[in-house]
Structure 1
């Protein structure tokens, strides 16, 4: 079963393709070696025959036919396969001198290279293979000079067998290596599959095991584990958000329903009905504000608006938002002021920047006591732009500052105070969208929230 699974795996198919390409390359290389070797041997033999034949032709031209016959006879005494093959024949191809009994039938006709079988005069009379060059002399006599190719044929056979054996070993070891590599790769992939299956079954605590090699699979497993950590955190955050939404919206919705039900069952005058409807509208506005804040956070965290960024005059944003909240601050006896620099521009979304600044000022007014001071500043230095909101309220403890940037997070856990706990969460989302740093620090007393762009 495991072997069948291995054979059907993609890793085995890829390894098989690589193995086939490697085998074909090896076969081509070995064939090239064989053909080159045979060509070199044949060329050396032909050159030897040609040189010897040309020497005999020169002897014929110098000493005539009797001199050539004497030399061929002398050279033929050693026998076939020891020195060479020689045959001098007349115009009818009848033997005159040499160590061949007769002129080969294949070599009759035009003078050229020929290969033919011969009966060995030594070694038991078995058939041998000869290669020879024929020449037609000036008086119509014929000369044949050649070499016994038996040993060379045996050498070629030995080379071919050795190369085939090498190819066989290559195929065997290549196939074994392919199976091993496929099994190893499949094992590494199976770790990811097993972890994925366990996660699909609902257990998010599992992670892909690492072997410490820091190779591509280890780095992939590390990235997957980090992704799973983030997914687990997001799911936990979603559960917390769902619980907080249910808690925050259940109270105003229940209160809204109760007021409407009581108003419907009571016999009241027009003014009482008007007040009840006004209270219902207020409760509905609070619910809508919560949902709108959630939508703004989701829009900022999606990053979809980054492609629509434009140059925003941050000073104008500060002026507009501060002007909007000045009446509320005066009503609560809180001094709201601004210190802005001119020509402070950043790339961003004007609406979300205004919403984030409004949330900061609204929180500052909410928690700053009567007679307190809130200052909004923006300045540019070293290529960066700072937007700060400082107040003289109770501030936030250092160990709680990271927590208040999460959704529905409040310092008072009774959740009795007005608000949804989404104000600073929206500010943090807008900061991430604009790739800005958000910093909460102590104002002694109070809190300073700084957004640093650039």
Structure 2
């Protein structure tokens, strides 16, 4: 029963079904081809036999023209005794055999005139003794004025032997093909079934909640392995998004609790103290400011989610990073000076990449905001924009550097997470989403965000793949 169930499961696999289909199609094509070739060869042999009989008839006609009936009968009697002779028969008007090498003949053959319509059976003398019946023969009957009838023909043993040999060969070949097909079904189907069982087991674990489980991949690198690799990539992406969702949920519960609590306490305090119109106005302004902060926070989260999920699809267009840097430097230079520092733009163009200008501008804006907020802790700080092209790695990079305290190397990966705020930045306003948004935008462009040491300070480097043509 177990073997029957396993065979039934194997017959349901695509590999076994395709093998069976190919075997049936190949067998049908092989049979049709062999039948066609056999019929063609047999027709060729029958045609050659017919032409040989016609040549023999012409030869006997010459004998008859020279010597008459006696000479014809003598010639037929002599030729019928030769090895490999034609089929010869001379019969009187009553059908009695006078000469030739035929002992018995299928009834009705001598009633024909000219070519006998169908091949006929006959019995032939061999070395003067009756022999076994030959398969069949074709022949031509000539009638004379005196009633004598002369049959000249040729047996079809060679075409029939050819048919028999080909049929036996085809039967043997088809038998071997069927046996080979069954073996292939068994081994290939069983192997495919084992792999499908392994994939099903892994899928059950994943459905049960083990998102770290991956589909098995062998060293064969066949279509199953390529499919498993694609699915594993998808599972890794799903795991990353799920972990990100879990982190976002935890971070929302932690980071949004404080502004919502402040918002509630401010409203409750205003209601309890009855500060008058001016006090209520101040309380409402504080509450509006807190609400604006929450709205900006949710907008940033929404933008990050849309970028990471691929909803912000765009048609890549040439974007000059030098032009973007020049526009933002002109916009932020007064803000940097108000914060007690200076802004330097050292980006020399053109630095052309393929992407979306608005998203790239948003990424550079976030980096400049972070540099102003955290990199100008002391007066005289510098925010510097730098651009470079790496021809070896085929990368185009734009860096925003500051001279602030920087980020320790051990904390740089953590700084890219959502709502992740390092201890030294807890006292400053912010949501911990700026670098997460920049990282998401870079991944959408096929690039990366690197945090490097500026000694002192930090360099946030936007790295883009260089376009196919520098133009």
Partner residue of 2:23 out of 15, 19, 23? 19
- Measure how far apart 1:359 and its partner are: 1.7
Q: Which residue of 2 aligns with 1:370?
A: 378
Instruction: Report Cα offsets for 1:117-143 as digits up to 9, x if no partner.
Output: 234556877654442422537756532
Matches for 1:19-418 after TM superposition, within 5 Å:
19-76=23-80, 83-89=85-91, 95-100=97-102, 105-113=108-116, 114-121=118-125, 127-136=133-142, 141-149=148-156, 153=160, 156-157=163-164, 159-308=166-315, 317-318=324-325, 321-322=328-329, 324-339=331-346, 341=348, 348-367=355-374, 368-377=376-385, 379=387, 386-412=397-423, 415-418=426-429
Is 1:438 the counterpart of 2:449 in the alignment? yes
**1:319 and 1:73, CA in 2 relative to 1: closer, same or farther beyond 3 A?**
closer
Q: Which residue of 1 aligns with 2:469?
A: none
Partner residue of 2:430 out of 404, 416, 419? 419
Deviates more, 1:358-367 or 1:167-176: 167-176
Instruction: Report Cα offsets for 1:205-224 as digits up to 9, x if no partner.
Output: 32222332233323332333
Q: 1:258 & 1:207 partners in 2: Cα distance?
A: 49
Q: 1:315 & 1:169 partners in 2: Cα distance?
A: 72
**1:126 and 1:340, CA in 2 relative to 1: closer, same or farther beyond 3 A?**
closer
Instruction: Report Cα offsets for 1:291-350 as digits up to 9, x if no partner.
Output: 121122233334454535556565664455445545544444233344565777665444
Q: Which residue of 2 aligns with 1:449?
A: 460
Indicate the RMSD between aligned Cα atoms, in angstroms: 3.5
Contact 1:107 1:134 in 2 (8 A): no
**1:24 and 1:403, CA in 2 relative to 1: closer, same or farther beyond 3 A?**
same
Number of matched residues?
452
Instruction: Report Cα offsets for 1:6-47 as digits up to 9, x if no partner.
Output: 333333332322121011022123323533453454345445
**1:415 and 1:239, CA in 2 relative to 1: closer, same or farther beyond 3 A?**
farther
- Measure how far apart 1:239 and its partner are: 1.3
Q: 2:211 & 2:31 partners in 1: Cα distance?
A: 51
- Measure how far apart 1:422 and its partner are: 1.0
**1:47 and 1:309, CA in 2 relative to 1: closer, same or farther beyond 3 A?**
closer
Instruction: Report Cα offsets for 1:391-421 as digits up to 9, x if no partner.
Output: 1100122333333223222332894542111
Contact 1:19 1:175 in 2 (8 A): no
Contact 2:122 2:137 in 1 (8 A): no
**1:339 and 1:7, CA in 2 relative to 1: closer, same or farther beyond 3 A?**
closer
Q: 1:376 & 1:282 partners in 2: Cα distance?
A: 31
Find the residue that maps to 1:370 and give its secondary structure.
coil
**1:96 and 1:2, CA in 2 relative to 1: closer, same or farther beyond 3 A?**
closer
Instruction: Report Cα offsets for 1:132-164 as digits up to 9, x if no partner.
Output: 422537756532122444686466445434433
**1:240 and 1:115, CA in 2 relative to 1: closer, same or farther beyond 3 A?**
same
Contact 2:322 2:387 in 1 (8 A): no
Instruction: Report Cα offsets for 1:265-303 as digits up to 9, x if no partner.
Output: 222222222222222222222212211211222333344
**1:394 and 1:378, CA in 2 relative to 1: closer, same or farther beyond 3 A?**
closer
Q: 2:161 & 2:110 partners in 1: Cα distance?
A: 24
Contact 1:315 1:378 in 2 (8 A): no
Q: 1:309 & 1:209 partners in 2: Cα distance?
A: 36
Partner residue of 1:9 out of 7, 13, 24? 13
Find the residue that maps to 1:375 and give its secondary structure.
strand
Q: 2:352 & 2:81 partners in 1: Cα distance?
A: 110
**1:85 and 1:347, CA in 2 relative to 1: closer, same or farther beyond 3 A?**
closer
| Structure 1 alignment gaps of length 5 or more | none
